[in-house]
Structure 1
Amino acid sequence: MPNKDFHYRLIKARVAETLIKELFQNCGYTVFEYGMERTVPTILGKIQDKDEETAKQIRSMPDFVVQCPENGQLNYVEVKYRKSGKFRLSDLIKDYPYKNAIFIIVSKSTIRVISYNELEQGNSLPANGCSLEDCETFNLNKELVEKYKTYSASFFDGVE
């Protein structure tokens, strides 16, 4: 079944990451690629099903470090594609090490944001968090966010 296939999931993740990276750059942010597929690319296929603590921590590395153009603030950003738009603390590894990470959840119909702290307090998506265009942490151009949401809807149409 395609939704269980590692490579199929990897492609969905990369499309979501590219959408968010391009959006942030288009809004003037500096985006540093940080995740495991960038810092240790040859390890990606070797740790996909490993349960060792080191493998889990490598897989949990946020995708980006994003720097705000106005104040230089840095944020860890983890991008996830979820058909349902649902995301909760239990979707992360136990003792997730990036306590100040911000999660951007891309789905066909929306792009939402929730922080690790909100997840730790028992919040989850879609009930909590906010739409990316309303996120005060980033304060992105609302028209550009809407444009990228239409891209997301187009790219993920029919995707499981």
Structure 2
Amino acid sequence: MPNCTECGAYTKFNNGLCSDCYSKANGNPWVSGVIKGRIAETIVEQLFISLGFQVYKYGMENTIPGISDLLKGVRSDVSTNIRQMPDFVVFKDKDAHFIEVKFRKNGCLSLKDIEKYGDYPFENALFVLLSQKHIKCISYKELKDGKEIHEKCRNWLGNRKEFETDKDLIIDYCKYAIKFFENVE
């Protein structure tokens, strides 16, 4: 029977930690993920505001406050669609876009990351990915066509025709992302 290397309690893995010792050593990974996501959303929100867009918080947490607790354990098409609501709607020059913000330490994003909970219902969404080095963007359509964001791709947010953005301002916000995420696990 494997025992925790820290306290001696039962664990599933040889030379591993029990769940209590793991949480003490690493914090709650779910909470950590929520914090990273909120920081990424704030950086992207402020970036689009600085670029002259009107930014509206759209995701489940903002549109239907308190519903995340009600949806725990609920598995249905409606609950899945609610969970998958994009984070923002940005608007400028009579053009609106759904924006879903993601943080990935490894700088990678693929269709399987988006559809791990089922088919993604917002086909015209754009995914803005923050990593420890970059801010990149890809459309859901591009993901469906087999494209991905990875470390060496050149899907820079500043190159998106939808935004015709100020690349220098994006670089400034990329520096904020690097500062906040440089030591994130």
Q: In structure 1, what is the equivalent of residue 178 of structure 2?
A: 153
Name the SS for the 1:158 alignment partner: coil
Shift of 1:3: 8.1
Q: 1:48 to 1:143 in 2, by over 3 A?
A: farther
The share of aligned pairs that are identical, in percent, is: 36
Is 2:166 the partner of 1:144? no
Listed one character per residue, the Cα deviations across residues 75-104 of structure 1 (whole Å, up to 9, x for unaligned) are 000000111111111112322110000000
Listed one character per residue, the Cα deviations across residues 45-83 of structure 1 (whole Å, up to 9, x for unaligned) are 443665433222111100001112xx2100000000111
Q: In structure 2, what is the equivalent of residue 5 of structure 1?
A: 29
| Higher-RCO chain (CA-CA 8 Å, sequence separation at least 6) | 1
Is 2:120 the partner of 1:96? yes
Task: Give TM-score, length-normalised by structure 2.
Answer: 0.79
CA distance in structure 2 between the aligned counterparts of 1:128 and 1:76, rounded to whole angstroms = 22
Is 2:49 the partner of 1:25? yes
Count of residues in correspondence between the two structures: 158
Task: Give TM-score, length-normalised by structure 1.
Answer: 0.90
Instruction: Note the residue ranges of structure 1 that are not aligned, 5 or more in a row.
Output: none
Name the SS for the 2:66 alignment partner: helix
Instruction: Note the residue ranges of structure 2 that are not aligned, 5 or more in a row.
Output: 1-21
RMSD (CA atoms): 1.9
Return the match for 2:130 from 106, 111, 130: 106
